[in-house]
Structure 1
Amino acid sequence: MPTSNDDISDKIGLNQKSSRSWLWIGVAALAIGAGGYFFLANGDAAGGSLTYSTEAVVRTDLDVAVSAVGSIEPTDLFDISSELSGTVSEVLVDYNDVVTKGSVLARLDATKLEAQLAVQQASVDNAAAKVELAEATLEEARENYEIGQQLIKRGVESETAFIAQEAAYRRAGADLKSAQASLHLAEANLKLVQVDLEKACICSPVDGVVLDRDIDPGQIVAASFSAPTLFTVAEDLTRMELRVDVDEADIGMVRVGQSASFTVDAYDARSFPAEIFQVRYASETVDGVVTYKAILSVENADMSLRPGMTASADITVASVDDALVVPNAALRYTPSSEKEEITAGGGGSGLVGMIMPSRADGEDAVQNVGKAVYILRNGAPVRVPVQVGESDGSVTEVISDNLSEGDLVVTDEFDG
């Protein structure tokens, strides 16, 4: 039987020698690659070690606030105008004057109205006299009619005469009704002029303070199309309201009854308390930014706050007592070694991590899920998984059985 070249090579050992050669070549390549990776990964460490910035875990009361900007306004503000057109004869109040309900603020020239009042009063008197005359005429016609009834029964008076007496009696009754109607009309016209005359006196509808005055003696008030605002009166400046614009991203956390504090430019070092009593559903859009109006009640017993002041408010939307908190930088920190492993594309470390995938289950997979902080132990950061809670923007509440008050969490690292 003929022998092949492969059989001959196997017998003399040529194929085994070739396989061992390729194996040694592969091992050498792996060694060279490992050395290069080690050099690249630890080249910086050869020149110096890493230094870590840390902060202690603390327990404190945590308040979460939403910031908003708005203005101070009176709770009840009244714009007082005139329903009549006319010339202002006198102005009796000025800015900041305290007024009571019914106080005269200004008067319009009422000369024409007073003349009209006199005319209407005369009309009423005339109509009343006509009523009296009609009543007398009716009484006379009634007596004549009753006498005629007696005479017609006795046959003393003619039928024609009795018919005339009956007609006169009915006309007298109708005349009385007409006179009474004329009297009612004259009285109504008199009432209209009296009302206009009362409106010539511009009075305060409430107890309050005059905030604005836009009227002077001699000025002509034209109320034909729209009533002009002559005075602005605030009912009670000891109770004010703060109207703030809350961003649409924060409005879901804002509720009626939440407390707040605010500052104004006039008193930089002073913080004023407030409480939300209304959150409006209607939105307001300015330059593409959507906000919602929240109204806060403000006590102003010392009259420090004035209408129109700009205020910056912090609304407390959540509070946690005795919370375990860490700085937000600790939650953002990731060791550079882990960043290199992620960049290399694996879940392990070194060259093996580059060529072998990490396990998708087990403890390693759990450790890489969710939030975590790093505690400095023996000079190296150790990962501690945590559950995060409320945050005020600088610190965050964390919950973990492996984290205690006083532990040092890493916030940053740099070459030392």
Structure 2
Amino acid sequence: MTQAGTRTTGGKGAEIEARLGLGQRRARRGGWFWGLALVVVVAGGFALWRTLSAGDGAAAYRTGLVQRADLVVTVTATGTVEPTNLVEISSELSGTLRAVNVDYNDAVTAGQVLATLDTTKLEAEMAVAAANVSAAEAQLVRARATLDEARDNYDRVTALDARGVSSQQSLMAQRAAFGRAVADVTVAEANLDLARAQHGLVQADLDKACICSPINGVVLDRAVDAGQIVASALSAPVLFTIAEDLTRMDVQVAVDEADIGAISEGDAVVFTVDAYDDRSFPASIRTIRFAPETVEGVVSYTAVLSVQNDDLSLRPGMTATADIIVAELSDVLAVPNGALRYAPPQQSEAEQSGGGLLGMIMPHRPEDQARASGKSVWVLRAGKPVEVPVVPGASDGSLTEILKGDLREGERVILGEGG
């Protein structure tokens, strides 16, 4: 009974499902689910591709203009303003300064007394030397008188001897006396020369006690005061520093070894100093020194610039920043310097090889396949970046001349990405 009931029930259930179509609905429900999932995946991939494509096409670039311009090519160097002739005045003598006659910024003339030493001792030595000269002169006069007397006696004895009146012994004595008189005159003359030389030495020291200006100029520094003791035993101390002519100044700038080949004597220069932010001073290169200067491994060469300073606005020691004009170019094709530095972002190896799902379903962008070099710029043409090889020339710091390359005036070159 039980088995018969079970079969009856199973048969009725199958019959009911068959009537209602429940089995077919269950099969259709599974197929619809997987189809919907596939549509979602495809739609998502398409949306992602459209998003990336739209983002690429609408990428924002910072651009500059290809233009014709006049370029002034310069080399920048820094240095200091210096007088054309700077003299440091010292004292060869030791002693106490009796007086100091000048101060800072005083104008002086050649030969003007700047300071004097106490000359009491030198004056005493001068008096002794003068007395020695007088004594030597007197000795010479006496020696010459003795010589005259000896000459007369010798001549008289010689005449007597010729007549046979004088003896041979008397003749020899007068001859010896005459010779001694000649020698005494020579000694007296030498003593006089020695006394005069000693007098000259003392006079020279006395002259040096007067510290005088050797040139016309302006006192930049005074390192002594009256009453100060000057000791020059080991080294001559610097007492005054004088600039010859502040209306003509030099600017000594250090030019890097990488730029030294671009400049030459006579080049025009424009420089500024911190004291006058809104003023430029014209100058020219007077000389370029061959001697190198190495500071922390950096080699530079000194270029001396000549500048007129009629209004005395420039002062010694000021720091100067100079732009040396090495070339002036007119109406040349140029691009902003940033265009030569721009390069598209680097891609991963998967993107470059086109691997992966996106690589199979998305096209490659031309700008992603090119790589910028130091001799290329990227130009926007028809809204897309195109790499253009170029040969750059001189630069003025903001624009660079283009010697060769497929560029046209008015085109936009890429300087960077983003607004």
SS across alignment from 1:143: helix
- Tell me, in whole angstroms, the C-alpha distance in 1 between the residues paired with 2:313 and 2:235: 35
1:53 aligns with 2:62: yes
Deviation digits for residues 319-340 of structure 1 (CA, Å, limit 9, x no counterpart):
322221101222233456xx55
Q: Match for residue 167 of structure 2?
A: 158
Q: State the one-letter code of the partner of 1:224.
A: A
- Tell me, in whole angstroms, the C-alpha distance in 1 between the residues paired with 2:211 and 2:374: 70
Identify which of 201, 222, 227 aligns with 2:236.
Answer: 227
Contact 2:392–2:404 (CA under 8 A) maintained in structure 1 = no
- Tell me, in whole angstroms, the C-alpha distance in 2 between the residues paired with 1:213 and 1:131: 49
Tell me how far 1:282 sits from its aligned partner.
Answer: 2.4
Identify which of 88, 92, 105 aligns with 1:79.
Answer: 88
Q: Match for residue 176 of structure 2?
A: 167
Tell me how far 1:270 sits from its aligned partner.
Answer: 0.5
- Mean alpha-carbon deviation: is it higher for 175-184 or for 246-255? 246-255
Q: Match for residue 147 of structure 1?
A: 156
Contact 2:143–2:184 (CA under 8 A) maintained in structure 1 = yes
Contact 1:65–1:314 (CA under 8 A) maintained in structure 2 = yes
SS across alignment from 1:304: coil
Paired residues in the alignment total: 366
SS across alignment from 2:93: coil
Tell me how far 1:284 sits from its aligned partner.
Answer: 2.3
Q: Match for residue 44 of structure 1?
A: 52
- Tell me, in whole angstroms, the C-alpha distance in 2 between the residues paired with 1:38 and 1:277: 72
- Tell me, in whole angstroms, the C-alpha distance in 2 between the residues paired with 1:135 and 1:91: 49
SS across alignment from 1:50: coil
Tell me how far 1:111 sits from its aligned partner.
Answer: 1.2
Tell me how far 1:177 sits from its aligned partner.
Answer: 0.5
- What RMSD in Å do the two structures reach over aligned CA positions? 2.9
Tell me how far 1:376 sits from its aligned partner.
Answer: 2.3
Tell me how far 1:344 sits from its aligned partner.
Answer: 5.0
Q: Match for residue 311 of structure 1?
A: 320
Contact 1:335–1:381 (CA under 8 A) maintained in structure 2 = no
Identify which of 123, 133, 136 aligns with 2:142.
Answer: 133
Alignment of 1:315-330 (within 5 A): 315-330=324-339
The answer for unaligned runs of 5 or more in structure 2 is 1-43, 361-368
Alignment of 1:326-365 (within 5 A): 326-335=335-344, 340=347, 344=351
Identify which of 202, 205, 219 aligns with 1:210.
Answer: 219
- Mean alpha-carbon deviation: is it higher for 66-75 or for 378-387? 378-387
- Tell me, in whole angstroms, the C-alpha distance in 1 between the residues paired with 2:405 and 2:375: 14
Q: Match for residue 386 of structure 2?
A: 382
Tell me how far 1:190 sits from its aligned partner.
Answer: 0.5
Deviation digits for residues 216-250 of structure 1 (CA, Å, limit 9, x no counterpart):
11111111110000000000111111112222333
User: Judging changes above 3 Å, is the alpha-carbon distance between structure 1 residues 196 and 42 closer, same or farther for their aligned structure 2 residues?
Assistant: farther
Q: Match for residue 412 of structure 1?
A: 416
Q: Match for residue 394 of structure 1?
A: 398
Contact 2:340–2:374 (CA under 8 A) maintained in structure 1 = no
Contact 1:37–1:351 (CA under 8 A) maintained in structure 2 = no
Tell me how far 1:115 sits from its aligned partner.
Answer: 1.1
1:371 aligns with 2:380: no
SS across alignment from 1:390: strand
1:247 aligns with 2:256: yes
- Tell me, in whole angstroms, the C-alpha distance in 2 between the residues paired with 1:273 and 1:217: 42
Identify which of 54, 58, 65 aligns with 2:74.
Answer: 65
- Mean alpha-carbon deviation: is it higher for 49-58 or for 78-87? 49-58
User: Judging changes above 3 Å, is the alpha-carbon distance between structure 1 residues 332 and 214 closer, same or farther for their aligned structure 2 residues?
Assistant: closer
User: Judging changes above 3 Å, is the alpha-carbon distance between structure 1 residues 101 and 368 closer, same or farther for their aligned structure 2 residues?
Assistant: closer
Alignment of 1:162-311 (within 5 A): 162-311=171-320
User: Judging changes above 3 Å, is the alpha-carbon distance between structure 1 residues 178 and 326 closer, same or farther for their aligned structure 2 residues?
Assistant: same
Identify which of 133, 140, 145 aligns with 1:124.
Answer: 133
User: Judging changes above 3 Å, is the alpha-carbon distance between structure 1 residues 87 and 311 closer, same or farther for their aligned structure 2 residues?
Assistant: same
Q: State the one-letter code of the partner of 2:417.
A: E
Contact 2:161–2:168 (CA under 8 A) maintained in structure 1 = yes
User: Judging changes above 3 Å, is the alpha-carbon distance between structure 1 residues 227 and 369 closer, same or farther for their aligned structure 2 residues?
Assistant: closer
TM-score in terms of structure 1 length? 0.81
- Tell me, in whole angstroms, the C-alpha distance in 2 between the residues paired with 1:150 and 1:40: 148
- Tell me, in whole angstroms, the C-alpha distance in 2 between the residues paired with 1:298 and 1:318: 20
SS across alignment from 2:225: coil
Q: State the one-letter code of the partner of 1:141.
A: A
Tell me how far 1:67 sits from its aligned partner.
Answer: 1.8
User: Judging changes above 3 Å, is the alpha-carbon distance between structure 1 residues 123 and 42 closer, same or farther for their aligned structure 2 residues?
Assistant: farther
User: Judging changes above 3 Å, is the alpha-carbon distance between structure 1 residues 114 and 329 closer, same or farther for their aligned structure 2 residues?
Assistant: same
Q: State the one-letter code of the partner of 1:386.
A: V
User: Judging changes above 3 Å, is the alpha-carbon distance between structure 1 residues 40 and 144 closer, same or farther for their aligned structure 2 residues?
Assistant: farther
> Percent same amino acid at aligned positions?
56
Contact 1:370–1:385 (CA under 8 A) maintained in structure 2 = no
Q: State the one-letter code of the partner of 1:86.
A: G
User: Judging changes above 3 Å, is the alpha-carbon distance between structure 1 residues 55 and 38 closer, same or farther for their aligned structure 2 residues?
Assistant: farther
Q: State the one-letter code of the partner of 1:305.
A: L
Deviation digits for residues 100-155 of structure 1 (CA, Å, limit 9, x no counterpart):
11001011111111111111111111111111111111111111111111111111
SS across alignment from 2:103: coil
User: Judging changes above 3 Å, is the alpha-carbon distance between structure 1 residues 369 and 67 closer, same or farther for their aligned structure 2 residues?
Assistant: closer
- Tell me, in whole angstroms, the C-alpha distance in 1 between the residues paired with 2:302 and 2:48: 58
Q: State the one-letter code of the partner of 1:376.
A: L
Q: Match for residue 366 of structure 2?
A: none
Contact 2:89–2:238 (CA under 8 A) maintained in structure 1 = yes
Contact 1:106–1:201 (CA under 8 A) maintained in structure 2 = yes
- Tell me, in whole angstroms, the C-alpha distance in 2 between the residues paired with 1:224 and 1:255: 46
- Tell me, in whole angstroms, the C-alpha distance in 2 between the residues paired with 1:298 and 1:144: 80
Q: Match for residue 122 of structure 2?
A: 113
Which one has the largest radius of gyration? 2
